Amino acid sequence: MKKFLVPIDFSDASINAAKYAVALTQDFPEVEIILYHVYSRISLATLTSKEEGSRQKVSESELNEVKSKISEGKDNISCVAEEGSFVENLSDFVMGNFVDMVIMGITGSSRITQVFMGTNTLNVIRHVNCPVMIIPAEAKFHGLNKVVFTSDFKDVARTTPFVALKNILDTFKPKLEILNVDSEHYVELTPEFKIERGAMEDKLGMYDPDFSFLRAYDFLEGISSFVETRNIDAIITVPRKHGFLSQLFKTSHTKKLAYHSSVPIIAIPA
């Protein structure tokens, strides 16, 4: 049975992520969606065990309210509330319960404050041992028919987590596009890029991927244009540095990334 964990902080964005998870898995024969909430510790000597228990019950009750709103009559959704540190608890829960994927929303009352959840998400990605699907605040599920895997095409055979990537492709069965964005691309690929493409084809050839090598000076603008023109449903990436994913959460006062409001990002642990 596949297990998908959805962290819930009761914001609209986290509830939207839960709705997305339900729609994403609606045709799966065996799947469990876990609504997961961590409430912070209160270090007060006067806090009684009864009061501590009531916090647990309130959290569980609120989770069940969310469940009733999104379940659509299905019985494959469970609720878990724990006291502790969000990232630490979530990491332990994922490992101890063999979770296949974490599906997270981006929270914040404004685009600027969403950067905070971006930081929190980066910490989750650092510590969990499974893929993390990041759902933009306004994203609605319209199918997962085509995905793009972004690669720097450097030492592909050693640095690409092919097992995790194949698990995602085998689970959702989308059409696979493989994209490299680089400012040095010209009409003909360099010998180095040809070698790395061959290594990628050797590992992923059974999925019949389409390769694209895009010349662009700004990676985010390049992938944004690619996502829009190719009708991409999700971006898969291997974040080796925090700087890369941090950029995905930043917003401009005058322009937002074309995919920011609609296309999820799936981060695979390296």
- Backbone dihedral angles phi then psi of residue 79, each to the nearest 5 degrees: -125, 135
* Domains 2-135 and 146-267 in one fold: yes
pLDDT in tens, the chain (270 residues): 899 999 998 888 889 999 999 999 988 878 999 999 999 866 445 555 545 568 888 999 999 999 999 987 778 899 999 999 999 999 999 999 999 999 998 754 445 445 545 567 778 888 898 999 988 877 889 899 999 998 888 888 888 999 999 999 999 999 999 998 876 776 677 888 888 889 999 999 999 999 988 877 777 778 888 888 999 999 998 876 545 555 555 544 323 333 344 689 898 987
Predicted TM-score (pTM) of the model is 0.85
Alpha-carbon distance of 251 to 113, in angstroms, equals: 10
Reported as type and span, the H/E element at residue 68 is helix 49-70
Question: What is the CATH number assigned to the segment(s) 146-267?
Answer: 3.40.50.620
Reported as type and span, the H/E element at residue 175 is strand 175-182
pLDDT digits (tens, 9 = 90+) for 185-212: 766 778 888 888 899 999 999 999 999 8
- Own/partner pairs, 186-193, CB within 8 angstroms, 24+ separation: 186/215, 189/213, 193/153
So where are the chain's domains?
2-135, 146-267
54 Cβ contact list (under 8 Å, min separation 6): none
**CATH architecture designation of domain 2-135:** 3-Layer(aba) Sandwich (3.40)
DSSP annotation of 265 reads E
